[in-house]
Chains A and B, each alone.
Chain A
């Protein structure tokens, strides 16, 4: 495979002309005769008990076809990543008792147009008894904090198989654990102990195309879902679960999607659209507003990473302890997966023989966080690379030199015990230095990832 005819060639993106001229068909271009529209009644508080939900007045408004509540959902509880073994189901399609984040959908108005649906929302009588929210991850871990999960804690349980990674039956613990070598011994040998605490902020994916979905019940009892998703099969399997329908009766179509960046991995509203369509037996469409994108759709998680490194005189990292707190928001979504992925990457592209990493998936009363471009590693790269500059300063070593010294190489062992066979950091750094006009000293030019 040394020479290619087509691979590597700058073939023009076949979608380009359609996107630029506006002829590409997106979900919002799809509509059907008799199609209805959805708007949601959303929780005004981050945490509370639903005391009253009276929809009678709204139902009488001309143009309103149905108010869909938790009673219309055949199987209300789900967890998005059940397909990879993550559990237990911790999120209702529509809550019947309590709300766990501001903006959580409580019921859906299905009406002839968006305007009518918005008018109907104002006629719905909703009473919620507000409870003190859990917002701060460190507070959430304290025994005195209110507990927002049915298993009476604010953390996901790792190590017992429900994380979709470890074998079933093990002793559960509130953090994912990676341990390698002898970290205590490494700290006894430390010339310097370098510590740092780093925090990344929740951010919005902000694709040009907001979340949009059309669900259409077919005459043969099947359901077709047209949606802007990155994972059609995740949508199919989750919708099948909550409708108690065989997956084979659900078809998911995801044509050109107007940007995803991880924000369209979660089937975060298709289940509601599917329930509404099955309840009214007509095609329904839901188009999220930009405000819903910001306040309801998933964000990148806030992640706090505390690093403690044992460092030798030459700046070599002998051992690392890490404590990672990942703000999942109110529900699991992909967060347990994200925590595990982050933990496996806490050594970065460096050789650290002794490690102890603990990753917590912490639940709070905010909109659920989930995947975003660079998921699980964005926060780790940020923390590690700032830590590297701290180490460089502590040891009085040039930051680039320090990275060359610690760079992983082939035939070393990763934090998870895997033999490294495709290391290429040294070569990549050398190219970057060249691009920036940095003249590297001879001993760095001679280094190689293969030995």
Chain B
């Protein structure tokens, strides 16, 4: 038994938003009498932490604490239209809409606060849940108090609306000329593998990976995407297929008994770094991260196996059977 070691890399980019655009997002933010804000979005919480990320964006935009924002989501009757949660689009699209809604909210808060504080709105700023007189940190009213008085003293509704769309690009049918995406995020993944020449099993020992995400909204959530994406891509690279004899339908998988997903024990050592290169297409520089993290690991592993055994396996998944056949083929070539 010999264990061959190899290193491989993959460099990728990934577009943010629906291809060709035309996928609007809208939001409404309004205040409750107690000073909290309700933000209505029709985007969907899939476990990725969208609810948390959007609350952070609204809080940052208004100048308050994220705990003061309640996100209502996933209901066509409780929020204005949003195209959906896919195509790495929601955080990019919706944060532009939220920022626009927040500007309307801020203007109302500044107008009402200026009446309470008997000054002009342009002399005021909002930060950390308080409305300050610029340059005078001890002269303030809380946003909570302003919002309450707006509704019950100054007869002003505290509501903001926001909309964002990348207008749909048309495609020249003969050249494909078009403006397909808002921005590109980037990634580069380097992996080290061990290939067992007796069993054909590929073990990924180390992963070094860097993703450029525009702007980090929530480090925990980006890390979650990176680890989850790598492990998902590991399965696609090495074990997963619903048609093991594709294109034949024979042996189509029906359960987790035949369909092998990576588990915690298969997770290699992962070292990662997140870098920022803000995009001008988003008020905060945000790009989509959720999808590209699954794309770089499979080609990196394939290239590492290539490096280890000298044969490139060009069909996923890279099963022990394919590795053993590749080694066999190499032996035949060498013997000729």
**Residues of A near any B CB (own CB < 8 A):** 1, 4-15, 19, 46, 84, 102, 133, 135-137, 158-160, 165-167, 170-171, 176-180, 196-204, 206, 229-234, 236, 250-262, 264-265, 290-291, 294-295, 299-300, 302, 327, 337, 340-341, 343-345, 348-349, 357, 364, 366, 371, 373-378, 381-382, 384-386, 388-390, 399-400, 403, 407, 415-418, 421-425, 427-429, 431-433, 435-436, 438
A232 touching B74 by the CB < 8 A rule? yes
Asked if B171 is at the interface of the complex by the 8 Å CB criterion, the answer is yes
Residues of the B chain whose Cβ atoms lie less than 8 Å from the Cβ of A427: 212, 275, 277
Asked if B154 is at the interface of the complex by the 8 Å CB criterion, the answer is no
**C-alpha gap A403/B56 in the complex (Å):** 37
Residues of the B chain whose Cβ atoms lie less than 8 Å from the Cβ of A202: 241-243, 246
Residues of the B chain whose Cβ atoms lie less than 8 Å from the Cβ of A206: 256, 259, 261
B75 touching A233 by the CB < 8 A rule? no
B45 touching A344 by the CB < 8 A rule? no
Residues of the A chain whose Cβ atoms lie less than 8 Å from the Cβ of B12: 348-349, 377, 381, 385
Tell me the minimal C-beta distance from A337 to chain B in angstroms.
6
* Interface locus among B29-37, B112-120, B178-186: B178-186
Asked if B199 is at the interface of the complex by the 8 Å CB criterion, the answer is no
Asked if B205 is at the interface of the complex by the 8 Å CB criterion, the answer is no
**Residues of B near any A CB (own CB < 8 A):** 7-15, 18-20, 22, 42, 44-47, 49, 51-52, 55-57, 59-60, 63, 65-66, 74-77, 81-87, 127-128, 170-181, 183-184, 186-190, 208-212, 215-221, 224, 229, 232, 235-236, 240-243, 246-249, 252-256, 259, 261, 271-273, 275, 277, 279-280, 283-285, 290-292, 294-296, 298-300, 302-303, 306, 312, 314-317
Residues of the A chain whose Cβ atoms lie less than 8 Å from the Cβ of B252: 102, 294-295
Question: Given A201-B243, A340-B20, A381-B10, A5 and B128 touching (CB < 8 A)?
Answer: yes
Which of B20, B84, B190, B241 neighbours the largest number of chain A CB atoms within 10 Å of its CB?
B84
Question: Given A166-B173, A260-B85, A386 and B302 touching (CB < 8 A)?
Answer: yes
Closest to A419 in B: B179
A251 touching B314 by the CB < 8 A rule? no
B81 touching A424 by the CB < 8 A rule? no
Q: Which of A201, A203, A381 contacts B315 (CB 8 A)?
A: A201
Residues of the A chain whose Cβ atoms lie less than 8 Å from the Cβ of B232: 261, 373
**C-alpha gap A216/B140 in the complex (Å):** 51
- Interface residues of A, dominant DSSP: loop
Tell me the minimal C-beta distance from A117 to chain B in angstroms.
20
B20 touching A165 by the CB < 8 A rule? yes
Residues of the A chain whose Cβ atoms lie less than 8 Å from the Cβ of B285: 1
Can you list 11 contacts pairing A with B, beta carbon distance less than 8 Å? A8-B219, A9-B56, A170-B173, A251-B75, A262-B86, A341-B180, A374-B292, A375-B86, A376-B19, A428-B187, A432-B190
**C-alpha gap A388/B256 in the complex (Å):** 34
A389 touching B176 by the CB < 8 A rule? no
Question: Given A159-B173, A179-B176, A382 and B44 touching (CB < 8 A)?
Answer: no
**16 more A-B residue pairs beyond the given contacts A165-B20, A260-B44, A373-B232, with a C-beta to C-beta distance below 8 A:** A5-B127, A8-B218, A11-B220, A159-B173, A201-B236, A202-B243, A232-B84, A253-B75, A255-B75, A260-B85, A265-B86, A344-B15, A345-B15, A349-B186, A399-B8, A432-B209
